[in-house]
Chains A and B, each alone.
Chain A
């Protein structure tokens, strides 16, 4: 077996040192009825690298990869071009095969990169401080609500209708067990819908509310000014939590921090991390300086070593489970370190200029695509400001249309019927994301296919 260095001679020698006759002697503590005599039945035996590669490649070949189709899906996961050097660098063994930096003297590469990551995230979000990552956007969203409960000592959160329905589901699942009360709503497919949701949120904030959670851009792709909502929250002693599922947007639109959000969380996948069928991704989490000790997750901090040289360590760990156990701010341990590194490297390659250029290209492509698709008979563009994602209302139910398009090799967007099953008013909605990876030919193909499908 190619991954096992011990030879039979090694094993015999070592058993002698240990004082055991056979390997079975080392498993004596296992109750007899639970000891297996040989390899578990019904499973295949070991396989060559070639054989494994062949089998998995065949499985991969059964999927329609985004790069092989005109591709327009978003809704929480976005296809962006990632420079080749990012994947090369994160595959360096010193990054890839290292552990959480518990021994900082030999983990400065990881901790310094995390310090850079925290700085980038804080600036992107317009916040004072960010942590070293969470699992993904959806879990970061729930952790933010828990943090707001800790800070305000109130147990009711108001969730925007524009919050990703999977994020709402995650929060609903958890709230059922923790006793938190969530005020939720589903979006509407009418012009001016974001305005209606904003009115609902403004009206809902009172002295019992711990936080308002609002996604920007929202699930329909629309962007909104959160300033008034932030002021309203603060007047009532509540926190504003902003969720960002498309970080590239913040190269074009004002950050939630600038608009007054107290906690900003989101998905970092767009920067540096591929689609990967939904994971692993990287949760981003940022807040104000004054709340840092209420924050979940790992934190890298600057310090000095015994020679006075600058170095970095994991810090404020008295918030964390391995020190605080049941009193910890969260149970999170392993986070998303390597994806955070990919984010950091990609963001370093972009820099401010690159991010702004990338955001401008995304927006321009999306504007052109929206206008082109709105001309298709049976397609209506739901109005409202947007970044690189917008919602169309089709003259037919969108789900079968999307399936028909997929049969023709076009991945045409996310049908709202998939995200909101059973909500009839949304069944004809189609959310279309247009990034820098989409070209004019792709848009033309989608427009033609939609025209055909809606005829």
Chain B
């Protein structure tokens, strides 16, 4: 019986034992071998028309040796990937409170719109006269992003959040260089996403950490003390990765500007404030927006994302190519060819073509569906849900910053109070058995055994209450030192996986058994 009084599967403490089956399948939970074990190099799931007979023009470069690509007939392929899909957790299936990732419902209207042939079946190098609707869409989405953030310019081409960070820092570096100022240091809070320091290093900056204060925010005095003529930029996530609003954001911006630097804002957590706060009112110079977070484009098991960047007037002249301009009823593209006329300061191109069109159409469908009023409700409900979770669990889980006031869209807990030997990992795996995707664990690094819970606005009260009940139960087991919890998950398609072993002797591609055997000899 579960706590809601319904009968569930008998708990065996493991997936094997008395319930073992011949196939390894468990009714609807089907094991599935690799493509290379179920398919063959002589099999195909397509019928290609016979090629007309012509003399080859390949210049003697014909690929003679077998490639080793395994094929499947269509029914086999549909079954193979359908079975694999069933070993995945997704938002469609249940609550996915992965902090910092904003796993909200992905509306299917967006999928339908992105697949309209007028968006999906157009080539990026078609004459601009034949793709005016595509430019109109990019332009309109850009206008929404500018208005929602209160910023005067936007770059649409970055491919994901980290790519957006890169875009912002390249603009900052260009602006500084344009005034003959070769600053070399970027400051990043300890609590920042790993992409922040990695991005700064990727474009040639030295990275230094700035500490957090006791209330989980940037230590303004420490920051001020470090600012100087060598600091190019400060990268701040706001709301920050502890789920808290940086109360001193405007003061931080002023201090950085006074010291001659620029302010980059990581917009990963924009969902907490969209429609209620414009980051542009807080003095920032650049911010990326993860369309795959705030604006609901599906995360697809690891992308594609999309990371447009909004800019202040100070950085706008350095924005990347290409971009779309509106001229009366027509749209035109500013590329290398035309940039010289009125965008000579651009730092250049950071990607082939125009960015993630397929994400733009989805994001615009989402934005138009919500409108200004709906987007405001989005952030309000996201913040309300997170605070509700925070207050519902702070008696059983340590919430290090709960005493400082409300959180934004994420509730942060630590592992303080768990029995000896019990960890955040155990709680996460216990939640898997309860049918939830775990929260983000061990991030941010500033909190021991961090558990970062982001419910988003698209969960019902009922779903949230069920999660609260489940996390309470698992947390109590961790506090009590229930040894069964160490075995979790027991009901997932796999038990805990050996990640250490995977890294020690990496097997990254499949090889034919005879090749493996030969190598072992």
Inter-chain contact A136/B352, CB cutoff 8 Å = yes
Q: Is B46 an interface residue (CB 8 A)?
A: yes
Q: Complex: how many Å from CA A23 to CA B384?
A: 7
- CB-based nearest B residue for A194: B59
List A contacts of B273 (CB < 8 A).
30
Q: Is B92 an interface residue (CB 8 A)?
A: yes
Known contacts A27-B276, A34-B277, A61-B118: A100-B109 contact under CB 8 Å? no
Contacting residues of chain A (55-114) with chain B, CB-CB under 8 angstroms: 55-68, 71, 73, 75-77, 79, 83, 85, 87-110, 112-114
Q: Is B372 an interface residue (CB 8 A)?
A: yes
Q: Is A449 an interface residue (CB 8 A)?
A: no
Encode A113-130 as 1/0 by CB contact (under 8 A) with B: 111101110111000111
Contacting residues of chain B (102-138) with chain A, CB-CB under 8 angstroms: 103, 105-107, 109, 111-113, 115-127, 129-134, 136-137
Known contacts A3-B370, A321-B198: A292-B122 contact under CB 8 Å? no
Smallest beta-carbon distance B309→chain A, Å? 14
List B contacts of A38 (CB < 8 A).
376
Q: Is B225 an interface residue (CB 8 A)?
A: no
Inter-chain contact A139/B351, CB cutoff 8 Å = yes
Q: Complex: how many Å from CA A308 to CA B51?
A: 48
Inter-chain contact B57/A326, CB cutoff 8 Å = no
Inter-chain contact B122/A63, CB cutoff 8 Å = yes
Smallest beta-carbon distance A2→chain B, Å? 7
**Most chain A CB within a 10 A radius of its CB, from B34, B50, B147:** B34
Contacting residues of chain B (456-498) with chain A, CB-CB under 8 angstroms: 457-461, 463, 487, 489, 492-498
List A contacts of B117 (CB < 8 A).
60, 65-68
- CB-based nearest A residue for B348: A173
Q: Is A252 an interface residue (CB 8 A)?
A: yes
Q: Is A6 an interface residue (CB 8 A)?
A: yes
Q: Is B88 an interface residue (CB 8 A)?
A: yes
Give the residue of B90, B170, B195, B365 whose beta carbon is less than 8 angstroms from that of A177.
Answer: B170
Q: Complex: how many Å from CA A273 to CA B260?
A: 45
Contacting residues of chain B (65-93) with chain A, CB-CB under 8 angstroms: 65-72, 74, 77-78, 80-82, 84-93
List A contacts of B437 (CB < 8 A).
99, 103, 106
Inter-chain contact A136/B159, CB cutoff 8 Å = yes
Known contacts A62-B118, A276-B119: A89-B81 contact under CB 8 Å? yes
Number of contacts between A and B (CB, 8 Å)? 745
List A contacts of B98 (CB < 8 A).
99, 102
Contacting residues of chain B (210-258) with chain A, CB-CB under 8 angstroms: 244-245, 247, 249-250
List A contacts of B118 (CB < 8 A).
57, 59-63, 65
Q: Is B262 an interface residue (CB 8 A)?
A: no
Give the residue of A67, A177, A313 whose beta carbon is less than 8 angstroms from that of B497.
Answer: A313
Size category of the B interface is 35 or more
Number of interface residues of A (CB under 8 A): 217
Q: Complex: how many Å from CA A95 to CA B81?
A: 10
Inter-chain contact B69/A108, CB cutoff 8 Å = no
Inter-chain contact B49/A436, CB cutoff 8 Å = yes
Inter-chain contact A73/B197, CB cutoff 8 Å = no
List B contacts of A113 (CB < 8 A).
81, 84, 301
Inter-chain contact B301/A31, CB cutoff 8 Å = no
- CB-based nearest B residue for A121: B509
Q: Is A285 an interface residue (CB 8 A)?
A: no
Q: Is A290 an interface residue (CB 8 A)?
A: no
List B contacts of A182 (CB < 8 A).
none
Inter-chain contact A337/B301, CB cutoff 8 Å = yes
List B contacts of A85 (CB < 8 A).
45, 74, 77-78
Known contacts A77-B123, A277-B122: A421-B204 contact under CB 8 Å? no
Q: Complex: how many Å from CA A130 to CA B125?
A: 29
**Most chain A CB within a 10 A radius of its CB, from B115, B121, B336:** B121
Inter-chain contact A49/B302, CB cutoff 8 Å = no
Inter-chain contact B282/A31, CB cutoff 8 Å = yes
List A contacts of B320 (CB < 8 A).
173
* Segment with Cβ contacts to B, from A39-47, A185-193, A200-208, A232-240: A39-47
Inter-chain contact A276/B357, CB cutoff 8 Å = yes
Inter-chain contact A46/B72, CB cutoff 8 Å = no
Give the residue of B41, B44, B372, B461 whose beta carbon is less than 8 angstroms from that of A349.
Answer: B44
Contacting residues of chain B (386-400) with chain A, CB-CB under 8 angstroms: 387-388, 390-392
Encode B137-167 as 1/0 by CB contact (under 8 A) with A: 1000000100110000000000111110110
Give the residue of B352, B387, B428 whose beta carbon is less than 8 angstroms from that of A164.
Answer: B352
Give the residue of B125, B127, B351, B368 whose beta carbon is less than 8 angstroms from that of A77.
Answer: B125
Q: Complex: how many Å from CA A384 to CA B57?
A: 8
Known contacts A6-B381, A350-B69: A357-B48 contact under CB 8 Å? yes
Give the residue of A15, A35, A108 whose beta carbon is less than 8 angstroms from that of B84.
Answer: A108
Q: Is B271 an interface residue (CB 8 A)?
A: no
Give the residue of A106, A166, A224, A302 whose beta carbon is less than 8 angstroms from that of B88.
Answer: A106
Inter-chain contact B352/A138, CB cutoff 8 Å = yes
Give the residue of A76, A103, A332 whose beta carbon is less than 8 angstroms from that of B89.
Answer: A103
Give the residue of B39, B68, B113, B160 whose beta carbon is less than 8 angstroms from that of A123.
Answer: B68
Inter-chain contact B365/A52, CB cutoff 8 Å = yes
- CB-based nearest B residue for A277: B357
Known contacts A25-B406, A57-B116: A135-B163 contact under CB 8 Å? yes
Q: Please provide the 9 A-B residue pairs with the shortest distance between their CB atoms, ordered closest to farther.
A: A351-B71, A385-B59, A278-B353, A60-B118, A338-B300, A93-B92, A337-B302, A62-B133, A278-B124
Chosen A-B contacts, 27 in total, with CB atoms closer than 8 Å, are: A23-B380, A46-B370, A46-B374, A47-B368, A64-B122, A67-B121, A89-B78, A97-B92, A97-B93, A105-B493, A105-B494, A112-B32, A123-B68, A132-B302, A167-B352, A225-B60, A225-B61, A258-B65, A274-B120, A279-B354, A279-B357, A326-B207, A334-B292, A335-B304, A349-B72, A354-B71, A407-B129
